[in-house]
Amino acid sequence: MSSPTPDIKSVELICILAFNSNNQVAVRKLGSKAGLAFTGTDLEMAISRLESAYTSHTQAKEKFNLEVAGRNYRIYFVQSEGKSKDSEIEFWTLETLENNPEMLAPSLAAILAGLEPYLVEIPYLHLGENDFIYKFRPEKERNAQVYAPDAEAGALYQSKLCSAIKTLARRHERTADAPVDLDFGKVHYIIPSHFGFCLGVKNAIERAYETLAENPKKRVFMLSELIHNPFVNADLLKRGLRYLQSDKGIPYTVDETPTSSRLLWDTLTPDDIVIIPAFGATDEDKLRLVKKGVAVFNHDATCMLVEKVWKAARVYGREGYTVVIHGKHEHEETKATFSNTKRYAPAVIVRNLEETKLLSAIITSKDPAIRQSFYALFEGKHTPNFDVNRDLERVAVVNQTTLLVNETREIIALLREKYATYFGADKAGDKPRVGGSGRTDTLCYATQVNQDALTKALEENVDAAFVIGGRNSSNTYQLYRLCAEKLKDKAFFIQSESNIQSIESVEHFIFPANQADITANRFIKKLLWPEGIGSTPRKILITGGASCPDGIIQQVIHRINSFIEPHSLKTIDQVLLDLETSQKS
């Protein structure tokens, strides 16, 4: 008796989708049609077909199942490179396939339609879950020359004074030391041991300049501003870099005027380079790049400390927590963190302690109207389908890396107190209501150390403080806040030396800390010393945010010195010599 023939529809098929580093997928071209490239009744068969086309590939990872015409397909992803040994196999962008549905075999069409939730993983298939997209280059591997290719860039990025301070006063990269007193005679500049560029920013800038230098024939874009510093961004633009969208996510048109309807985004091809800045990118933006066949991973400069926040949020999500993101919902980094987190957990963004109090009042209320107010109060700041009755049972806090460290701690403490009051103290062995048990390890040490070093410097009896940074730089504003608490009107937020008009008056930037503040987002004139510099030496504190190049700090010093009689000032070389001697003694 012959055995019954299996029903073809009951046979499971394994399908391997192979992607190259441009996120293009391998398809089998048969005439004008495109179909699945690598299938088999088991994984071994599918892999042997894959290897008949591409010798090297990453380990196959199963992603999803799909039924097509009654047959179950198990879909695996791999990354493979090079030219196929099989002439029927070609890499195509997902966008091209999507735009030509008539050429797709039904099984390929159905599988492509189910790809959307997994697209964002494609550029990183070769990485393990705990790997970072890239790691900071240690100092000895730095390529500092590449971002100061000429005198103009040199003046922006390099400073004799700042290099000396870092060499002499920074004993540890992650711990604040005593500030440095640059004694020019008539004026002393008190410089915190840590200021300016963090490692994430240094890496991102270096990679941007390297990419421009190595690809003179290609179009090089940045998703949005590399960092929040207009001088750095202007210098990069001068060297040929272009931005795809503003820091608010508004896409730029081809001719950068509102008259053209064609967006730069629409012109992207796999030959173009798009750099992802240190803030990271939203899943939505990455997904568009993946579809267009742009090599996302190769030019992803997401700071590893931002990625650390994403990883913490993923862990919290898997542990069943709703993630509270302490951040500004309009900031690129918070948008990217929110977008990344929503893959793993419900999430809500709180701007500050005040908003956390509003959230706490909702968490601790049984009144349905108050609970319902969540949706209006946090509109645009919570994940879709957020259920206020289900998703506020347990929360864990992560933060935008550049905010005030102490505020994040206060937010965690407040939530702990409110949960304990409402639900009772956590029982031993139970999962805590507020996750992370005091962990503040999603805070960026660079932000923290700049704040700590400034706090130490403020202990000196200074007469005024200048905090330098881009007008949309959140971490610069946090530094300014610390100065303003102590020095009130004698604290200034400036972008560069050009804001110091004289020793009498300075253009001070009003940071939009409060969105309702109509006076914000502009410079106002504030008095420095209308009576002149005076006869007693003045002590001026100067620091820069994480996106402030060293050159600007030195130019601010030059500028202030230019208002003082030269004969009453020491030269920079003399100041450096004194500094070296004092640090050695």
Pairing of strands 71-79, 180-183: unpaired
Percent helix, strand, coil in the chain, to 5, is 40, 20, 40
Please, which residue, 313 or 500, has the CB nearer to ligand SF4? 313
Cα–Cα dist 334/497, whole Å: 30
Three-state DSSP state, 347? strand
CA–CA gap between residue 559 and residue 499 (Å, rounded): 10
Q: 3-state DSSP call for residue 459?
A: coil
- Give the integer Cα–Cα distance in Å for 435 and 526: 44
Q: Applying CB under 6 A, which of residues 103, 120, 226, 306 lies at the interface with ligand SF4?
A: 306
The C-alpha atoms of residue 441 and residue 311 are separated, in whole angstroms, by 11
Which residues, at least 6 apart from 41, have a Cβ–Cβ distance to it below 8 Å? 11, 12, 13, 14
444 is a site residue for ligand SF4 (CB under 6 A): yes
- Tokens at residue 22, please? 């441009």
Q: Quote the tokens at residue 196.
A: 């300016």
Interface with ligand SF4 by CB under 6 A: which range of 290-298, 301-309, 414-422, 527-535?
A: 301-309
> Which residues have C-beta within 8 Å of that of residue 405, sequence separation ≥ 6?
440, 443, 447, 448, 451
Angle value at C-alpha 339, between 321 and 210, nearest 5 degrees: 125
CB of 433 to ligand SF4, least distance (A): 28
Options 116-124, 340-348, 440-448, 529-537: segment touching ligand SF4 (CB under 6 A): 440-448
- Residue 325 touches ligand SF4, criterion: CB under 6 A: no
From candidates 305, 395, 397, 453, binder to ligand SF4 by CB under 6 A: 305
Q: What's phi and psi for 65, nearest 5 deg?
A: -115, 155
Work out which of 26, 27, 201, 244 binds ligand SF4, going by CB under 6 A. Answer: 201
Residue 94 vs 306, nearer CB to ligand SF4 = 306
Residue 198 binds ligand SF4, judged by CB under 6 A = yes
Among 93, 447, 473, 543, binds ligand SF4 (CB under 6 A): 447
Backbone conformation region of residue 488, classed left if phi is above 0, alpha if psi is from -120 to 50, else beta = left
Asked if 278 interacts with ligand SF4 (CB under 6 A), we say: yes
Give the binding range for ligand SF4 (CB under 6 A) out of 29-37, 298-306, 315-323, 403-411. Answer: 298-306
What number of other Cβ atoms are within 10 A of residue 393's Cβ?
A: 13
State the Cα–Cα distance between residues 147 and 35, nearest whole angstrom. 46
Site string for ligand SF4, 513-552 (x = CB under 6 A): ---------------------------------x------
Convert residues 466-505 into a mask of x (bound to ligand SF4 by CB under 6 A) and - (unbound).
---------x------------------------------
User: Between residue 112 and residue 141, which ones bind ligand SF4 under the rule CB under 6 A?
Assistant: none
- Residue closer to ligand SF4 by CB (options 278, 405) is 278
For ligand SF4, give the closer residue by CB, 340 or 402.
402
Site membership for ligand SF4, residue 301 (CB under 6 A): no
**Rounded distance, CA 94 to CA 119, Å?**
10
Is the Cβ of residue 451 or residue 555 nearer to ligand SF4 in the bound state?
451
Asked if 448 is part of the footprint of ligand SF4 (rule: CB under 6 A), the reply reads no
**Residue 276 near ligand SF4 by CB under 6 A:** no
Question: What is the token pair recorded at 450?
Answer: 């700049």
Scan residues 387-416 and list those touching ligand SF4 (CB under 6 A): 401-402
CB of 447 to ligand SF4, least distance (A): 5
Whether the Cβ atoms of residue 208 and residue 300 lie closer than 8 Å to each other? no
We find the least distance from the C-beta atom of residue 545 to ligand SF4, in angstroms, to be 9
Verify binding: residue 223, ligand SF4, rule CB under 6 A: no
d(CA 262, CA 195): 41
Tell me the residue nearest to ligand SF4 as measured from the CB: 200
Does residue 454 touch ligand SF4 according to CB under 6 A? no
The region of 5-13, 24-32, 303-311, 498-506 touching ligand SF4 under the rule CB under 6 A is 303-311
**Contact call for residues 192 and 454 (beta carbons, < 8 A):** yes
Least distance in Å: CB of 333 to ligand SF4? 7
**Cβ atoms of residues 306 and 278 within 8 Å:** yes
The least distance separating ligand SF4 from the CB of residue 276, rounded to whole angstroms, comes to: 12
Size of the site for ligand SF4 (CB under 6 A): 15
**What is the 8-class DSSP label of residue 567?**
G
Residue with tokens 């071209």: 29
Segment lying near ligand SF4 (by CB under 6 A), choices 16-24, 192-200, 243-251, 478-486: 192-200
Quick one: which of 563, 566, 542 has its CA closest to 553? 542
Structure letter (DSSP) for residue 4: P
Q: Which of 26, 169, 268, 446 binds ligand SF4 (CB under 6 A)?
A: 446
- The contact set with ligand SF4 (CB under 6 A) reads 198-201, 278, 303, 305-306, 401-402, 444, 446-447, 475, 546
